[in-house]
Amino acid sequence: MSQRLSSELIQSLRLTLQRVEETFASEEDQPRIAELKRTLLHRIADLEFVGAAVELADAKEAEHPGAVLPSVAEDDPEAA
């Protein structure tokens, strides 16, 4: 997933969360809304984590261009 697409998705999820908070305020909706909010926040956190990991990998690639991580086959003699 591209960084731009990931950022747009995070922004969309945050906007959805904001609208949920503004729209559903009744006491009877609270338990279901709390679960939805928790799910949205976890998804946002996952996307932010992946985005940070991609940025870190890109930075390491920039520091060491052409460096290639060993493949699984190289690590596992049985896979070769």
pLDDT at residue 42 above 50? Answer: yes
pLDDT at residue 71 above 80? Answer: no
pLDDT value of position 69: 54
- Angle formed at CA 34 by CA 14 and CA 18, multiple of 5 degrees: 25
The structure tokens 């809304």 sit at: 33
pLDDT at residue 51 above 60? Answer: yes
Boundaries of every domain in the chain: 3-65
> pLDDT-derived band of residue 20, with 50, 70 and 90 as boundaries?
confident
Least confident residue range of 26-30, 35-39, 67-71 = 67-71
pLDDT value of position 70: 54
pLDDT value of position 72: 47
6, two tokens: 């990931």
Q: What is d(CA 57, CA 46) in angstroms, rounded to the nearest whole number?
A: 16
Residue 58 CA to chain centroid, in angstroms? Answer: 16
Q: What is d(CA 12, CA 32) in angstroms, rounded to the nearest whole number?
A: 20
- Burial string for 9-47 (b: 16+ CB within 10 Å, else e) reads ebeebeeebeeeeeeeeeeeeeeebeeeeeebeeebeeb
